[in-house]
Structure 1
Amino acid sequence: MTQKYVVELVKWTALDGVTDAKMTDAVDRLLPDLKTLPGFVKQDLYKDDDGQWVDLYIWDNREDALASNDLMAPKPSFAGLMSLIDPTSVTIEFLNLP
């Protein structure tokens, strides 16, 4: 049987004055913590033409993806990233790979 992964699609807008370099550095600092979480497979960061950031996380399953938010919340790397983001702009979607 082939492994079916879940994609967590997170979108946000940076606060005024946050540079691309600062944002990508904050996401890079998050990765070591993410790699310790159950079910984490990979992460890719993008920025669209409107300046919105798009982060794709691949997880083994939806349960691990959902649990990741609570597991990351107390980590300094997560707080560092969130300090750069407009919290009202954050959206999270989950997609099943066929």
Structure 2
Amino acid sequence: MSDTKVLEVVTFNVKPGVSPGEAKTAARGVTAFLETQPGYLGRDLGQSEDGRWVDLVHWTDLEAARTAIPRAMKNADCQAFFALIDEETLKMDHFTVDG
């Protein structure tokens, strides 16, 4: 059995006028959605001193991560969070992690 996992790394800024508290509250809806997805292992959300955000989502494999994306786009709680994001600053990558 492989110990290889996938780390989804999403960086973004929120739109002007969106408070950190508002973003964190909306992010809780995304976490609730993710907890229902096959292959989901956990999530860490953080913010830098300059206001940039990082969303780290841990998955069992790349297929699980990719399968969740279109589902998230149709989920009302996820849409509410995504609406706060400045799309021009959004970057998503997937990394294979051993251990």
Matched, 1:77 2:77: yes
Match of 1:55 in 2: 55
For structure 1, list consecutive stretches of 5 or more residues without a partner in the other structure.
Answer: none
Q: TM (normalized to structure 2)?
A: 0.93
How many equivalent residue pairs?
A: 98
- RMSD of aligned C-alpha atoms? 1.0
For structure 2, list consecutive stretches of 5 or more residues without a partner in the other structure.
Answer: none
Return structure 1 stretches of 4+ with deviation > 4 angstroms: none
SS in 2 for 1:51: coil
Give the AA of the match of 2:4.
K
Matched, 1:45 2:64: no
The superposition leaves residues 41-89 of structure 1 with CA deviations (integer Å, 9 ceiling, x where unpaired) of 0000011122111000000001111111111111001110011111111
* Identical-residue share of aligned pairs (%): 26
Give the AA of the match of 1:34.
L
Matched, 1:30 2:24: no
Q: TM (normalized to structure 1)?
A: 0.94
Match of 1:7 in 2: 7
Cα drift, residue 7 of structure 1 = 0.1
SS in 1 for 2:16: coil
